[in-house]
């Protein structure tokens, strides 16, 4: 399949409600949106990096530059028989897995469309819908209790509470007391250190399914130490950017669950390898999110149909994030299940009208 053109947009979508995590508050989603073209078909993907290096080291500006100046020139006018050979073209570069994923994922969509198959089928997944939960940002405890109640009523399969120092044990006491049977987890986005081990051990009292990424974004070793001190399983997110990171975490018992974000690990090829590796360790995985638009969400949903994704993911209804999405389809859950978009590739199409309004810049590339 020869890539004969590309369009790189910078897109901005206002969020319905601000989203606060340990590292700060987001009020809008700004992201690179890439279109790759071949044989009259289009493949789409978005980058999951933030404007500032507050989740991982990548930034929107850095990724836009790398995609436009380095990665696209490497693939334009070239033929790739399989997405894995495209991923190999990027192997010499250091890190920048989110920028690579943007190009790699758009090619998976294009390649699946060239075969006339849904993305889930070419990835090895199956099924018409996936189980999802919600990720609730940091806010006053009373408001969080209300949001937990409404989302449980809507059928969401798991509630993930964002925590940070000073907004942790009291929150868990209140939520667990009000919802004794809820499937609960927490996500700390790296805001604790091993000096907080006693506090984190205190979370063992709340029957959490797992504690997500309590320690530093680049420190698998300290997570292994922490896991020896607590009963609740640790789930790694930020620490896992490559298959090798996953291997080291599994071999050292630093992660008993892994949050796979396809946009964080360089794309679907690596996401699937991490999934396979976790299966061989009998470690469950689930698909995280980065407040993506419908394009990124569709990719996440297809990936989530692989058999090792046995825990509910974060790809909840698009209407929780945006008043209007940049795709024509509506990605909404029904009783905590998100339907897999049908048709070739990711199965969703751009709403070019609204995309025009939401676009900050456009660059076109020809082979
Ligand atoms: O750590 O999983 C995270 C959102 C932005 C940055 C990091 C994370 C998150 C979420 C929200 O938890 C997931 C979503 O609803 O898309
Ligand atoms: Mg996380």
- Cβ atoms 286, 257 nearer than 8 A: yes
Ligand 1, pocket-test mutation among 20, 314, 318, 338, most atoms within 8 A of CB: 314
Q: 90: burial class by Cβ within 10 Å (0-12, 13-18, 19+)? A: buried
What integer is the mean pLDDT of 13-30? 98
* Domain count of the fold of the chain: 2
- Is the domain of 218 the same as that of 266? yes
- Confidence tier at 186 by pLDDT (50, 70, 90): very high
- Is the domain of 57 the same as that of 172? no
What integer is the mean pLDDT of 232-249? 99
Please report the pLDDT score of residue 325 as a whole number: 98
- Is the domain of 221 the same as that of 304? yes
- Ligand 1 atom having least distance to the Cα of 261: 2
Ligand 1, pocket-test mutation among 13, 52, 288, 297, most atoms within 8 A of CB: 288
- Is the domain of 282 the same as that of 209? yes
Please indicate, yes or no, if residue 344 is contained in any of the structural domains.
Answer: no
- Is the domain of 42 the same as that of 138? no
CATH of the domain at 51: 3.30.390.10
Ligand 2 centroid distance, CA of 133 (Å) = 13
- Atom 4 of ligand 1, residue of closest alpha carbon: 290
Both structure tokens of 161: 């509470």
- Atom 12 of ligand 1, residue of closest alpha carbon: 135
CATH of the domain at 318: 3.20.20.120
Please indicate, yes or no, if residue 367 is contained in any of the structural domains.
Answer: no
- Confidence tier at 244 by pLDDT (50, 70, 90): very high
- Atom 13 of ligand 1, residue of closest alpha carbon: 289
List residues near ligand 1 (CB under 6 A).
Answer: 21, 55, 135, 187, 189, 237, 288-291, 314
Please report the pLDDT score of residue 18 as a whole number: 98
Ligand 2 centroid distance, CA of 270 (Å) = 18
Ligand 1 centroid distance, CA of 114 (Å) = 32
What integer is the mean pLDDT of 307-315? 98
Ligand 1 centroid distance, CA of 366 (Å) = 34
Pairwise CA distance, residues 295 & 38, whole Å = 18
- Cβ atoms 318, 331 nearer than 8 A: yes
Pairwise CA distance, residues 339 & 317, whole Å = 10
Pairwise CA distance, residues 313 & 308, whole Å = 12
- Is the domain of 97 the same as that of 132? no
- Atom 5 of ligand 1, residue of closest alpha carbon: 290
- Is the domain of 43 the same as that of 170? no
What integer is the mean pLDDT of 63-89? 97
Please indicate, yes or no, if residue 366 is contained in any of the structural domains.
Answer: no
- Confidence tier at 61 by pLDDT (50, 70, 90): very high
Q: What angle do CA 147, 151, 154 make, to 5 degrees?
A: 145
Please report the pLDDT score of residue 27 as a whole number: 98
What integer is the mean pLDDT of 33-38? 98
- Confidence tier at 345 by pLDDT (50, 70, 90): very high
- Ligand 1 atom having least distance to the Cα of 162: 12
- Atom 14 of ligand 1, residue of closest alpha carbon: 289
- Ligand 1 atom having least distance to the Cα of 259: 2
pLDDT per residue over 224-238, tens digit each? 999 999 999 999 999
- Is the domain of 329 the same as that of 262? yes
pTM of the model: 0.98
Domain that holds residue 26: 5-116+349-361
- Is the domain of 78 the same as that of 163? no
Which residues are catalytically annotated? 162, 261
Please indicate, yes or no, if residue 102 is contained in any of the structural domains.
Answer: yes
Please indicate, yes or no, if residue 137 is contained in any of the structural domains.
Answer: yes
Strand partners, 287: 260
What integer is the mean pLDDT of 154-166? 98
Which residues neighbour 78 within 8 Å (Cβ) at sequence distance 6 or greater? Answer: 2, 3, 89
Please indicate, yes or no, if residue 101 is contained in any of the structural domains.
Answer: yes
- Is the domain of 233 the same as that of 320? yes
- Is the domain of 210 the same as that of 160? yes
Ligand 2 centroid distance, CA of 143 (Å) = 21
Work out the end-to-end distance of the chain between its first and last CA atoms, rounded to an integer number of angstroms.
Answer: 13
- Is the domain of 216 the same as that of 357? no
Q: What is this model's ipTM?
A: 0.99
């Amino acid at each position: 399949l020869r890539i004969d053109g590309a369009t790189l947009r910078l897109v901005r979508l206002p969020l319905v409600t601000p989203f606060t995590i340990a590292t700060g508050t987001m009020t809008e989603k700004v992201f690179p949106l890439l279109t790759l073209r071949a044989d009259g078909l289009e493949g789409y993907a978005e980058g999951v990096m933030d404007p500032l290096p507050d989740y991982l080291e990548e930034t929107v500006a850095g990724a836009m530059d790398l995609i436009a100046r380095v990665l696209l020139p490497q693939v334009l006018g070239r033929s790739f028989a399989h997405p894995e050979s495209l991923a190999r073209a990027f192997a010499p570069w250091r890190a920048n897995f989110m920028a690579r994923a943007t190009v790699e994922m758009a090619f998976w969509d294009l390649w699946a469309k060239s075969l006339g198959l849904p993305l889930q089928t070419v990835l090895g997944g199956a099924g018409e819908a996936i189980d999802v939960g919600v990720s609730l940002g940091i806010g006053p405890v009373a408001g969080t209790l209300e949001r937990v109640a409404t989302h449980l009523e809507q059928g969401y399969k798991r509630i993930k509470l964002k925590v940070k120092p000073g907004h942790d044990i009291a929150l868990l006491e209140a939520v667990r007391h009000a919802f004794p049977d809820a499937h609960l987890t927490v996500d700390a986005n790296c805001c604790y250190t091993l000096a907080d081990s006693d506090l984190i051990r205190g979370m063992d009292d709340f029957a959490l399914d797992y504690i997500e990424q309590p320690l530093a974004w680049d420190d698998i070793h300290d997570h292994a130490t922490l896991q020896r001190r607590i009963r609740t399983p640790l789930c790694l997110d930020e620490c896992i950017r490559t298959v090798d990171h996953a291997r080291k975490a599994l071999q050292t018992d630093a992660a008993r669950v892994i949050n796979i974000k396809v946009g964080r690990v360089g794309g679907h090829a690596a996401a699937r390898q991490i999934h396979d590796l976790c299966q061989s360790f009998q470690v469950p995985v689930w698909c995280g999110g980065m407040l993506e638009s419908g394009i990124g969400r569709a990719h996440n949903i297809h990936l989530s149909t692989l058999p090792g994704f046995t825990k509910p993911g974060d790809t909840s209804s698009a209407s929780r994030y945006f008043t209007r999405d940049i795709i024509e389809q509506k990605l909404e859950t029904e009783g905590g299940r998100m339907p897999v978009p049908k048709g070739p590739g990711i199965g969703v199409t751009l709403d070019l009208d609204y995309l025009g309004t939401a676009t900050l810049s456009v660059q076109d590339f020809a082979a």
